[in-house]
Amino acid sequence: MNLEQLFDQNKENTIQGRYITLENIKPLLEKESLKKEVTIIGESVLGKPIYSYQKGNGKTKIYLWSQMHGNESTTTKALFDFINLINSGSDLAKKLLDSFTFYCIPMLNPDGAKLYTRANANNVDLNRDSQDLTQPESKILRTVFEQFKPDYCFNLHDQRTIFGVADTGKPATVSFLAPSYNEEREVNESRLKAINLIAGINEVLQNYIPGQIGRFDDSFNINCIGDTFQYLGVPTLLFEAGHFPDDYEREVTRKFIFISLLSSFIILSENDIVSNRNDKYLNIPQNKVVFFDFMYKNVKINYDGIEIITNFVAQYKEELIDNQIKFNAYIVEVGDLEGYYGHYEYDAKGALYKDDFNNYPNQNQQADFNLDEKAFFVNGTIIK
């Protein structure tokens, strides 16, 4: 089975990039081919509708939700790619719909999506509200969980570009976690199902992005939704869409999320899970904060009248300006920075740093500078 070809055939081309709002997905949910399976299940803080999409007649019930954090949109794109697949009429689609009942919430936090913020309109992180349930979006997610009674939960997120795969120097393009259900981080039957499934997905992904799959720390936090659902006895998988080289719009990563979703359901439908794959799960390297978007090495800097050779780094801030996401690079640190990597690296070979400010790469300063007045950088990137 050619999973990349299936992605190309089912990719929802009307949604692209990082800024995905309710206005972008509403036309998809209102399509004639989908709308009979679409329901408005509640409203956000600002009164925006929260939609569900349910399809399939299979015994195994799958609960998926995306954009719990409004600025994490990659998995929303991949979820619509998958929805296209199960509506394709193919033999694979029929097999999946006979095996599973899918219940999707494509955008749990439409207010945060519009504002491009992690939190909702009340500035609450919904992924820390699973116990208190203070927000309408949290209550909707929990009510569906209790009524639908899923066999598996898929908690779909994005992660920042700072994460790498341990100390390998490779970005964590996709990461997973089978959340803990108690403080001791023990493995019971329910959690083992999530662990086994992630181990299977990892084997598939290694064929496409070898060494670029990470595993999140499993410290227990009952306020997180994944930990809560695992505690309540339902196998829960956390998906994190991360960085692929030069893919800041996350259009490449979206493909690997689609492949991960599809692989997980093929594995489950074929009962292709051995009894215990915990060792293989634990062999997935842990995520580590080791990356910056830009790293400039061996730069000569005039520091209080003394010239030194050092390194500095810059990081993008994703800023919503005129309904578009702008990637603006700001300097964040100067120093040896041993053990860190840049998604873009430049060796200055001792060239002197200069800018229009004070000729020093100060923190939070825009990354506009030159080196020996020969190499000029605007927004972190060399222009000549």
pLDDT over 90 (residue 155): yes
Q: What is the largest CA-CA distance in the chain?
A: 73
Q: For the purposes of burial, counting CB atoms within 10 Å of the CB of 217, is it exposed (0-12), middle (13-18) or buried (19 or more)?
A: exposed
pLDDT in tens, 87-130: 999 999 999 999 999 999 999 999 999 999 999 999 999 999 99
Q: How many CB atoms lie within 10 A of CB 133?
A: 15
Look at the domain 3-288 and name its fold.
Aminopeptidase (3.40.630)
Non-local CB neighbours of 236 within 8 Å, separated by 6+ positions: 152, 153, 154, 155, 178, 179, 194, 226, 229, 230
Task: Provide the pLDDT for residue 272.
Answer: 61
Q: Is there a contact between 216 and 176 (Cβ–Cβ < 8 Å)? A: yes
Number of continuous H segments (helices) and E segments (strands) in the chain: 10, 18
**Neighbouring residues of 36: CB distance < 8 A, sequence distance ≥ 6:** none
pTM of the model: 0.97
- The residue-averaged pLDDT of 10-27 equals 98
pLDDT, residue 303, reads 83
How much is the average pLDDT of 346-355? 97
Which residues 6+ apart lie within 8 Å of 189 measured at CB? Answer: none
> Which among 362, 125, 378 is positioned nearest to 370, based on CA atoms?
378
Task: Report residue 160 as tokens.
Answer: 């920042």
Contact between 162 and 244 under an 8 Å Cβ cutoff? The reply is: no
Say yes or no to pLDDT of 282 above 90: yes
By C-alpha distance, which of 104, 108, 107 is closest to 135? 108
Integer Cα distance of 177 and 346 in angstroms = 34
Q: How far apart, in Å, are the Cα atoms of 209 and each of 78, 175, 256? A: 17, 12, 8
Q: Is 67 helix (H, G, I), strand (E, B) or coil?
A: coil
pLDDT at 384 over 80: no
pLDDT at 305 over 90: no
Distance, CA of 138 to CA of 121 (rounded, Å): 13
275: left (phi > 0), else alpha (psi -120 to 50), else beta?
alpha
Domain segments of the chain as ranges: 3-288, 291-382
Whole-number pLDDT of residue 275: 76
Whether domain 291-382 has CATH 3.60.70.12: no
- Calpha distance 139→132 (Å, rounded): 9
User: Other CB atoms closer than 10 Å to residue 316's CB: what's the count?
Assistant: 21
| Alpha-carbon span 227 to 218, nearest angstrom | 9
